[in-house]
Structure 1
Amino acid sequence: MDQCYAKTMEEKKPYIAMIIVQIIFAGMAVVSKAAFNGGMNTFVFTFYRQAIATLVLLPLAIIFERRSSPPLPFKLMFKIFMVALFGYTINLNMHNIAIKLTSATVTSATSNLIPIFTFVLALLFRVEIITFKTCSGIVKAIGVVICLTGAMVIAFYKGPHLNSFIHHHPILHGSSQNDSNITHKKWIIGTFLMVLAAFCWSSWLVLLGIILKEYPSWIWSTVLLNLFSTIQCFIVAITTERNLNKWKLHWDEELLGVVYGGVLVSALVLYLQTWCIHKRGPVFVAMFSPLALLIAAAASSFLLGEVINLGSVLGGAFMVVGLYCVLWGKSRERKNMNSSVEDAKDSISIESRGCIVK
């Protein structure tokens, strides 16, 4: 009984970890939006959160993994450097600019494209296939189209505002006024930057899965990704923002956003995601993205007084439906594959018994 319970809990750990990840992601969209509304430079913000994550994780890696970590050849280190550049430095900077130009709800809605992009990349690398002769293949293709339609709805259709039932917003910092000044052109640019960031994140999930096969220490992988990203983000930030006053942190939502992003997102979330990729693979990690949409929409309305548009809700709903069409198709294919394997085993067993009787 105890062994069965322990096995059940062990199987549930990745699910619990990914639920925690999505809650933290939703909170990150809210606090970073508040920091940007307060006037913080997005590039400086990204550098600080990566630097804090490195300072948190590096001592832990040295204490717990200094003797058991495998050797790191230069070629593999260069691969990790490039994964950090593509999956963190470029991705996070585009992501933060997009948050500033749109809203926390849009940020979480477009994150639903991550599983779809992961699936498309798997198709390109021939890891996944779509067979239009089967029901599951058709549903997967329809799901991809529905998700992309959702992204288009968010970008080009704002629609009427949805009224919030709550009128007191604890960390409101000019959010409603800021959102009203966002032009339609900026909204479109921000949405497509968020789509590109989702593609970068999907690529990062796939590439990190490859890296972990070569370098299975996910603690040191996490540290190195943050360390390289910190250096890269500093170069970007110092190049784009020379005013030292913009680098000063104050005891307000700016410091909250940096510490939250550095400790919880870039450190804890990256560690949990890396562990889950190691245990279950990149597609498992990507499939939890829709959860952040519901949390972020509620939190941004309550905490920031952010105006939620009908277009964002409809687009997010399209993405969730499309995502789970793809996941249903994959699940159906897996069941068919398992039943085929069982049938093959049964036929082999029957044939072998026939041979014994003869």
Structure 2
Amino acid sequence: MKDMKVYAVAFLIRFIYAVMQILTKAAFDGGMSTYVYVFYRQLIGTLSVAPLALLLERERAPQLSVKVCFKIFLLALVGFVIFLNTFSIGLDYTTTTSAAAMINSVPVVTFVFAVLFRLETIKIKRLQGLAKVAGLALCLGGILTMAFYKGPQLKSFNHHHFLGLGSSHTDGARSHSTKRWALGTLLMTISTTAMSLWMVLQGYVLMEYPAKLLFTTHQCLCSTIQSFFIALAFERDFSRWKLGFNMNLLSVAYGGIVATAATYYLQSWTIEKKGPVFCAMTSPITLIIQIICSSFLLGEMINLGSILSGVFMVGGLYCVLWGKSREEKDRKMQIRENEEACLEEKEAPIPA
């Protein structure tokens, strides 16, 4: 029964992410500025997380030093501002299916950075090491497939766009040229790289400042300020800053409150119960939900290239995760054998 609860929460997290990308894509197709979207999303996310963080962690949180503040500022720039801006533009230039497929490469790229920072190892001569290398190759193959092969379009389940997008967005001016598609793929690759680097680096900062909720709040606040100046530089038409009671408001509110504040807690709870590997293994669920929902809600035409790239990336993800899990099992077995050997030595009779 406890496992079913964890599985349900893991599915809910992936569903939240899938809906977020669909709402965001709908807002972009409706003409919302990607830079303004990121600013409002981070602003709402900060206002959502801050009260909870102050309530739960203010009294027992360590004092912030200038050094830690600077590190948090840089982390916010990499993991929030660069990630969200490049991912949002990439999503605007491609499709939600492509974005969901690309997200599956985050655990694999994170593993690459972990190797570079000597937090992980690859033993080529062992099966586990070969699985990791195969996973990296499949992930790279998925990125290249997405960038250079669109393939034929698969038939959409729905041609009436429930989220209010006109046909001009999907068939005319918003159609994805090869150049636009390749640029979108490049930007999403940069975004996943930024996210992966952020996931590795934040571990070092959390050792100095372990108050997780306040740590997230400080990052959200820094990213809000950074995003404001970026939006101000790139979006001078202030009429595009207005949020009415429309898809724009819904997308930023959902992204800030549900996808930022609520999902952070749910993800932390899932990792605590089942570990980070389990959490990463559920990420392909987002791709499946994305394909179904984007076709029904957006009337989005799905390219064969997006499906193939998703298959490659999911395959690469599971290869890396399998290699890591096997290494972890071997490590635990080795520790157990060493402990048993030490115990036998202690219990052995002392020769006269």
TM-score, normalised via structure 1 length? 0.90
Deviation at 1:282, TM superposition (A): 6.2
Unaligned runs of 5+ in 2: none
**Aligned sequence identity (%):** 45
- Answer whether contact 2:277 2:321 (CA < 8 A) is retained: no
1:93 partner letter: N
SS of match in other structure, 2:348: helix
Q: 1:72 to 1:22 in 2, by over 3 A?
A: same
- State the match for 2:97 in structure 1: 105
Whether 1:190 and 2:184 are equivalent positions in the alignment is yes
**Mean Cα displacement is larger for which, 57-66 or 114-123?**
57-66
> How far, CA to CA, are the matches of 1:64 and 1:343 in structure 2?
42
**Mean Cα displacement is larger for which, 183-192 or 286-295?**
286-295
Deviation at 1:14, TM superposition (A): 6.8
Q: 1:295 to 1:317 in 2, by over 3 A?
A: same
- Answer whether contact 1:150 1:314 (CA < 8 A) is retained: yes
- Answer whether contact 1:24 1:264 (CA < 8 A) is retained: yes
Matches within 5 A, 1:32-51: 32-51=24-43
SS of match in other structure, 2:157: coil
Q: 1:133 to 1:306 in 2, by over 3 A?
A: same
- Answer whether contact 1:179 1:307 (CA < 8 A) is retained: no
- Answer whether contact 1:28 1:260 (CA < 8 A) is retained: yes
- Answer whether contact 1:37 1:173 (CA < 8 A) is retained: yes
TM-score, normalised via structure 2 length? 0.92
> How far, CA to CA, are the matches of 1:18 and 1:183 in structure 2?
36
Whether 1:125 and 2:117 are equivalent positions in the alignment is yes
> How far, CA to CA, are the matches of 1:12 and 1:340 in structure 2?
32
Q: 1:286 to 1:118 in 2, by over 3 A?
A: farther
Unaligned runs of 5+ in 1: none
**Mean Cα displacement is larger for which, 14-23 or 194-203?**
14-23
**Mean Cα displacement is larger for which, 245-254 or 288-297?**
288-297
Deviation at 1:36, TM superposition (A): 0.4
> How far, CA to CA, are the matches of 1:57 and 1:141 in structure 2?
38
2:304 partner letter: L
**CA displacement, residues 312-351 of structure 1 (integer Å, 9 cap, x when unaligned):** 0011001111110111111111112222222222222333
**CA displacement, residues 193-217 of structure 1 (integer Å, 9 cap, x when unaligned):** 1011001111111122222221111
**Mean Cα displacement is larger for which, 103-112 or 244-253?**
244-253
Whether 1:306 and 2:274 are equivalent positions in the alignment is no
Aligned residues: 350
Whether 1:173 and 2:153 are equivalent positions in the alignment is no
- State the match for 1:20 in structure 2: 12
**Mean Cα displacement is larger for which, 16-25 or 97-106?**
16-25
> How far, CA to CA, are the matches of 1:81 and 1:277 in structure 2?
25
SS of match in other structure, 1:355: coil
> How far, CA to CA, are the matches of 1:194 and 1:12 in structure 2?
33
Match of 1:323 among 295, 317, 320: 317
Deviation at 1:159, TM superposition (A): 0.7
> How far, CA to CA, are the matches of 1:326 and 1:314 in structure 2?
19
> How far, CA to CA, are the matches of 1:317 and 1:178 in structure 2?
29
- State the match for 2:329 in structure 1: 335
- Answer whether contact 1:14 1:276 (CA < 8 A) is retained: yes
Deviation at 1:267, TM superposition (A): 2.1
SS of match in other structure, 2:293: helix
> How far, CA to CA, are the matches of 1:141 and 1:334 in structure 2?
17
- Answer whether contact 1:115 1:287 (CA < 8 A) is retained: no
